[in-house]
Each structure stands twice: as C-alpha cells, then as structure tokens.
Structure 1
Amino acid sequence: MSLGTGIVLFVVGAILAFALNLQVGWIDLHLVGYILMAAGVIGIILGIVLITRRRTSVATTRQAVDPATGERVTRRTSDIDDSPL
C-alpha cells in the first residue's frame, strides 16, 4: 500500500462518515467510513515508513602491492543494501 492509497482511503472514509446523510438498511455507512479512515491512517503511516527507511551503504578500499611489477594497486567497491523490510 502506498502513501497515495492511504490518503485516498482516508478521504473516501471521511466522505462516508461525515458528508453523506444517507441511510441504507443493510449497512452502516458511518461505520464503513470510520473503518476506511482507520485503514487510510495505517496506510499513510506505512507509506511514510517505507519512504523514509534508511539505505545501508558499505564502502571498502583495499590497497596492495603487485608482486610482479611492484606497483601499488587500489580497489574500491561500494555496496548499497536497499532490500525490503
């Protein structure tokens, strides 16, 4: 669930809970609105957590001397871990 989906759920829930004055015999639209608003808040929180998660980067530098030529060799590598939670 993305941040946008959470916002849409919250807005639709708020419309159902507060803006509509409609009575349906088989469902309580106000309760459905509150449930959608709660799901929207959870979606917004999850979206923010997933957006702000930190990426871990590891930089490694190795220096060695080539025994055949006697020259110094430097190797730099960088790894980024952006695996999902």
Structure 2
Amino acid sequence: MLISCPYCGPRDVSEFTYQGDGNRGRPDPASTDQAEWNAYVYDRLNPAGDHNEIWQHSGGCRSHLAVIRNTVTHKISSISFVRKPGAGA
C-alpha cells in the first residue's frame, strides 16, 4: 500500500506508523472513571468501509497525517496534515 505524504510524496506503508482511530475521543486526563478509561483503551470498532485514521510518517518527515482509508479495499480517498506544517504544539 502506498501512502502519499503531502510533504514527501508517495511512500510505501512501511515508512508509516499507524497511530489509531481518528474518530475516538480521549477521556479527560483527570478523569477517574474506570469504565470510561477501559472503553477508551480496550473497545475497538472494526468498520468495513471508509475509516478516519491517524498515521505518522515515522520513516520520513515525522508528520502526523489524517487519512481516510477504505478498510475493505485499502483505497485512500483523502490525506491531510493533522496540524499545519510549522504549527506549534
């Protein structure tokens, strides 16, 4: 599978690290709700079709990318930076 980094161009998937589901919301770090944290850490959906994912170009420019990928065909329909290049933390 090729992922086309907006900065580096098309690269093999081996240069990237999957960072997780782009739709999941992280609980408040100060939260002590054990059920909420268990759901965040362990519950995963396995959708068939287009899915919003976060990937890091770990073998290249190190950018985090928002990728919409079809989980059945692996066709990528959209890639963008999670943050604008040069933006602070």
TM-score for the superposition, normalised by structure 1: 0.23
Q: Which has the higher helix share?
A: 1
Q: Which has the higher strand share?
A: 2
| Larger CA Rg, structure 1 vs 2 | 1
TM-score for the superposition, normalised by structure 2: 0.23
